[in-house]
Amino acid sequence: MEGPWVGTWRPHPRQGPILAEFGTPGPKYRLPGTTGHTAHDPTKYRAPAYTFRGSKCPATDSCSPGPQYLIHPSITKTGKQVAPSPLVTSRPKTKIAVTPGPSDYTTEPANRHVYYTAPVQSMVSRPKDLKPFQTPGPTTYTLPRILGPNTICTHANPCYSMMGKSQYQSAFQDLAKTPGPAAFGRVEMDVYKKRAPKYTM
């Protein structure tokens, strides 16, 4: 027989035996868990685990004494807040004894830049050189030659020269002073011809 309603459902009689009625060793033998990070089943894939770390403990150097000291109400986070109070002091002393007056300045050069004026030509003397120039004059430089074989910037054509007649074996030369056939050493024929074989014992 079914019992009274409990909320949205009503309990009913059991259909068979339950495990609590049998004498078993209980949860003594069990498989490793598949959830969590500690003692996870090594045969199963373990997802990455994340933890929520708490806030760090404040350091002793940053600890304030708290509201045990009485702070004046005019002290704020930007400093002391007070009304402006100018001080009445004497005029500071200056080192300049005499200052220029309005008549010491002239505005004529400035008027030429402010107001439109016609162009004005003026003649002045040539300024004197404080130090003479050490630059070379026009006669110091020489132009390179443009004729002959030794030219720099132009193309040189072939040059020919005329020489005197050679006195070698001429009628005006003393043939007795020329060397004869015996004046030269004998040249071995093995130098310019095929050398014959030689045998030694």
The answer on pLDDT for 65 being more than 80 is: no
Q: Which residue has better confidence, 19 or 33? A: 33
Rg (CA), the chain: 63
The reported pLDDT for the residue numbered 61 is: 65
The reported pLDDT for the residue numbered 25 is: 61
What would the pLDDT profile of 94-130 be if each residue is shown by its tens digit?
A: 777 777 888 888 777 777 777 777 787 888 887 777 6
The answer on pLDDT for 24 being more than 70 is: no
Q: Taking the complete model, does pTM exceed 0.85, yes or no?
A: no
The answer on pLDDT for 46 being more than 80 is: yes
pLDDT mean over 72-85: 79
Q: Find, among 122, 120, 104, the residue nearest to 112 by Cα.
A: 120
DSSP letter at 39?
T
Q: What's the full length of the chain, in residues? A: 201
The answer on pLDDT for 43 being more than 70 is: yes
Burial of 40 (0-12, 13-18, 19+ CB in 10 A): middle
Highest averaged pLDDT of the listed ranges 40-49, 70-79, 98-107, 111-120: 40-49
pLDDT band for position 66 (50/70/90)? low
The answer on pLDDT for 1 being more than 60 is: no
**Average pLDDT value for the chain:** 76
Q: Which residue has better confidence, 137 or 133? A: 137
CB proximity list for 13: less than 8 A, separation 6 or greater: 1, 2
pLDDT band for position 153 (50/70/90)? confident
